[in-house]
Amino acid sequence: MSPNPIGNRVEQLAQSLAEHIVPLIVDAIDIDSILDKVDVEKIIERVDVDKIVERVDVQKIIERVDVQQIIERVDINAIVNEIDIDSLVEQTELGSIIARSTTGILTEVLDVVRAQGVGLDDFILRWGNRLIGRGKKFRDWPAGPPLLVGSEAIAPT
């Protein structure tokens, strides 16, 4: 505080004037019109991004990041479910890797026999039940044991 009582009074006056005038000025300014006049493109052109990046200590930022916490927050199962694995295998070299590493004549025969067995199982189930007049009632039957498919799952035939 000033030791001079007159100076003290002037200071208080200036402060109360500022308190009244500043809000009036701020209200009077049309910020939108000022922004309209600003050429943002020109400002961006002037910015030297490389210089900014050079000044940033990326290593320090990386050290601050808690990767474990990020991983914990990511639902990897949901991401994997989003991936269309069929098209991934079709369109990338993954297909040839799988083919080279696992395709043997025995594997091929087993794949065919098993898949055709499933098809024939469905056929027999469908027609066997139709023959005794059950129609399509067997479609409400459970698909599998509750621990393996859940209690709500019904047969896909």
Interface residue with other proteins, options 22, 121, 130, 136 (CB under 8 A): 121
Q: What is the closest distance, in whole angstroms, from the C-beta atom of residue 130 to other proteins in the complex?
A: 11
Question: Can you list the alpha helix ranges (DSSP code H) found in 29-104?
Answer: 31-37, 40-46, 49-55, 58-64, 67-73, 76-82, 85-91, 94-102
**Would you list the DSSP string of 13-26?**
HHHHHHHHHHHHHH
Choose the binding region for other proteins from 2-10, 32-40, 45-53, 128-136 (rule: CB under 8 A).
128-136
**With respect to other proteins, which residue has the nearer C-beta, 37 or 137?**
137
Interface residue with other proteins, options 11, 95, 130, 136 (CB under 8 A): 95
For residue 117, state whether it binds other proteins (rule: CB under 8 A): yes
